[in-house]
Chains A and B, each alone.
Chain A
Amino acid sequence: MYVIVVGGGKVGYYLTKALTQEGHEVLLIERDPRRVAQLTEELGEQVFLGYGDEMRTMRQAGANRADVIVAVTGGDEDNLIICQMARRCFQTPRVIARVNYPKNRALFDRFGIDHVISSTEAILMMVEQQIPSGHVIPLAALKEGNLEIVEIEVDAESPALGKTLAQLNLPEGTSVISIVRQGRAIVPQADTDVREGDTVIVLTEIRRSGEMRRTFTKAA
């Protein structure tokens, strides 16, 4: 697959690396020359200096042959317009946008963007269109801070079933960053409940991860 990622922040960087490792052709578009220099050190020719919301950049990037365009800049309007233009001007089969402010989610739905997500991991799953099986899957170990992001599948035996996040008494140093429900990533609130079939994405301190697992999965 040819994937164009727009926005070279942490999300764009991680996504580019992960997709490349999985054998996809990926181009990362970033507008800040200093950031491009930094990214190029590690990612090489995969980084392209330009504006993802400009037709010229996108033509140069080969947008007309892209299978997926993912807009993960820090600006919601930018992500929205990038996806809309990809769809209309380049007939891109799949467009995925990151929403930075949850309040803007409805706007993205209204504009007909296929996939709207607010975490890197969920983007990756949607691009790959395969949700891995198993209970707890580490998605990424974050270099600094001894943190990791894990994905947990909630089954019928989960002790968390039917409880809201507030009722779960999550261990300190643990935070639920997203719940993927029926293929859509939602940004959970304290009163969001956990349902069977949910995929919960949790940011946790590595030393707390055992405690966190017991919150969501039945002890083996």
Chain B
Amino acid sequence: MHVVILGCGRTGSTLARLLQQQGHSVAVIDRTRDAFRRYLGPTFSGTLVVGLGIDTDVLLKAGIRKADAFVAMTGGDNTNLTAAQLVRDEFHVPKVLARMHDPLRSDAYREMGVDTLCTTDLGVGLTYDFLQGRGWDKPAAEYLNNPIRPEVEE
């Protein structure tokens, strides 16, 4: 499959290399060329596009029209949400995922039909269970669908 990854940080670049090694076609988008140099290294042979992920011209260069999946992995929740909705609505890519930091915003957009992966929920849940002396045998989806969170303070 062809996967377009937005954001060449630690997560985006690792995913890109993994998918490529497994024989998939991969394009990575980042605002700066430095990110490619730093995280992907010279052996990565996928498509590299410098630009903003909410720019349709940039997405087209990354082959969004033939993409089977799009993952938004920048550090900015709003950028990821904007790009994910644009790709879903404009290019009808079948699998679209937005990485999120803010759990509440993640909930709000899940309700609006955007697939989100809240790494805060995941990280907190796993750490909490570790501190409780529990093993990590729970499926990861549990941490996302029934997140362990503090009560809301007003």
Contact = CB atoms under 8 A, between A and B. Distances in A.
Interface of A: 53-56, 59, 75-78, 80-81, 85, 88-89, 103-104, 107, 110-111
Interface residues of B, number: 18
B104 A54 contact: yes
Contacts of B78: 53, 75, 77-78, 80-81
A88 B112 contact: yes
B86 A110 contact: yes
B49 interface: no
B105 A107 contact: no
B78, B79, B90, B112: which has the most chain A beta carbons within 10 Å? Answer: B78
B104 A56 contact: yes
Interface string B96-110: 000000101100100
Interface of B: 54-55, 76-79, 81-82, 85-86, 89-90, 102, 104-105, 108, 112, 154
B108 A54 contact: no
A57 to B, nearest CB: 11
Nearest to B85: A111
Nearest to B80: A77
A80 B89 CA distance: 15
B104 to A, nearest CB: 4
Contacts of A55: 104-105, 108
B54 A88 contact: no
A77 B82 contact: yes
B102 A85 contact: no
Nearest to B55: A103
Given A107-B82, A110-B89, A77 B54 contact: yes
